[in-house]
């Protein structure tokens, strides 16, 4: 008998068709943010769920209401909305899409770094607003990238892809903060692993690409921001909650750091009255690290493969976040 699977995101038609062939597929069209009880009701009879940006935490109380659930496939590399202890307790396999988005996310982070350093959006807006009447004067000058020091917080796949760009394209000096040493980046790109405070003190560009966990939540506090050079630029392509956003606003406003490029925020979408909107020295991007046509397709396909393998009795061979579930 076919298993019941709920799809709660829009995915390409051919991938949805694969799900419909493999399972009794139910689409959740509502916005889970507003329709949580409806979402739970639909999941009450589901063996599996697949989708992205699940806005509610999948924790013990959620899983108590979805007793048949055996597998969840998130269309993302991040899985911070899933409580791993609760998934273990309820025997739910969790799958993610880690490999397919590495390069496009590293590209977006480098885009933010370059555009923030060279003030691309600000200068484009100047022209749009009819302000280019003479040669650009020093108050609009940018910051060099080539040969500078980049501090990468998090040296997983994406951190490594950023290091490759920094070394091969921009001859940057690479320092990084990570739980464990990454010998590949140390040998191939001469990267040096340091304590967090030393990375913050020495880097011209600080790039955050850590997973959001209990250990990394609010890792970048007011005190940590105060360690950064006043000429430094901060890029966050990971999760907004890793930075104390109010402290970041103050650091940018008081110019204790030069600028920031942010693809992620504590609350998404960013509130219409966020103080960050008032600042010129922050480049804002709507969480689009993996948002290219090719990569989003690859992520959807990977997640469909994942839910198909996770709902088999055998153990999945890749992209399995919580093998402890068995």
- Binding residues for ligand DGY, rule: CB under 6 A, are 76-78, 101, 289-290
Place of tokens 């909305």: 81
Nearest distance in Å: CB 96, ligand DGY: 8
- Catalytic choice (90, 193, 239, 296): 239
Nearest distance in Å: CB 285, ligand DGY: 12
Q: Residue 50 or residue 145: which is nearer to ligand DGY going by CB?
A: 50
Nearest distance in Å: CB 240, ligand DGY: 10
Nearest distance in Å: CB 141, ligand DGY: 32
Q: Residue 151 or residue 289: which is nearer to ligand DGY going by CB?
A: 289
Q: Residue 6 or residue 158: which is nearer to ligand DGY going by CB?
A: 158
Mark whether 218 is an active-site residue: no
Q: Residue 71 or residue 77: which is nearer to ligand DGY going by CB?
A: 77
- Catalytic choice (268, 294, 314, 318): 268
Nearest distance in Å: CB 294, ligand DGY: 15
Q: Residue 77 or residue 234: which is nearer to ligand DGY going by CB?
A: 77
- Catalytic choice (18, 90, 287, 296): 287
Mark whether 57 is an active-site residue: no
Mark whether 287 is an active-site residue: yes
Positions marked active-site: 239, 268, 287
């Amino acid at each position: 008998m076919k298993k019941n699977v709920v799809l709660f995101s829009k995915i390409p038609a051919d991938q949805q068709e694969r799900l419909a062939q493999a399972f009794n597929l139910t689409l959740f069209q509502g916005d889970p943010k507003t329709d949580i009880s409806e979402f739970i009701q639909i999941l009450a009879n589901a063996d599996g769920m697949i989708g992205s940006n699940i806005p509610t935490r999948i924790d013990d109380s959620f899983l108590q209401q979805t007793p048949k659930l055996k597998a969840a496939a998130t269309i993302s590399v991040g899985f911070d909305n899933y409580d791993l202890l609760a998934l273990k307790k309820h025997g739910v396999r969790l799958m993610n899409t880690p490999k397919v988005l590495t390069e496009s996310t590293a590209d977006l982070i480098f885009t933010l770094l370059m555009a923030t350093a060279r003030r691309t959006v600000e200068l484009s807006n100047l022209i749009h607003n009819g302000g280019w009447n003479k040669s650009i004067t020093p108050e609009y000058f940018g910051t060099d990238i080539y040969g500078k020091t980049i501090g990468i917080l998090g040296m997983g796949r994406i951190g490594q892809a950023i290091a490759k760009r920094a070394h091969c394209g921009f001859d940057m000096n690479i320092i990084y903060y990570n739980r464990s040493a990454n010998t590949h980046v140390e040998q191939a790109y001469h990267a040096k692993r340091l304590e967090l405070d030393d990375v913050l003190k020495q880097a011209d560009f600080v790039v955050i690409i850590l997973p959001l966990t209990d250990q990394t939540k609010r890792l970048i506090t007011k005190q940590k921001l105060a360690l950064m050079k006043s000429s430094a630029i901060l890029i966050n392509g990971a999760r907004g909650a890793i930075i104390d956003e109010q402290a970041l606003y103050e650091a940018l406003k008081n110019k204790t750091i030069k600028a920031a490029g942010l693809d992620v925020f504590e609350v998404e979408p960013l509130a219409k009255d966020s103080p960050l909107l008032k600042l010129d020295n922050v480049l804002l991007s709507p969480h689009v690290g993996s948002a290219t046509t090719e990569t989003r397709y690859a992520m959807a396909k990977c997640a469909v493969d994942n839910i198909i393998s996770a709902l088999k009795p055998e153990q999945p061979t890749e992209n399995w976040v919580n093998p402890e579930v068995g």
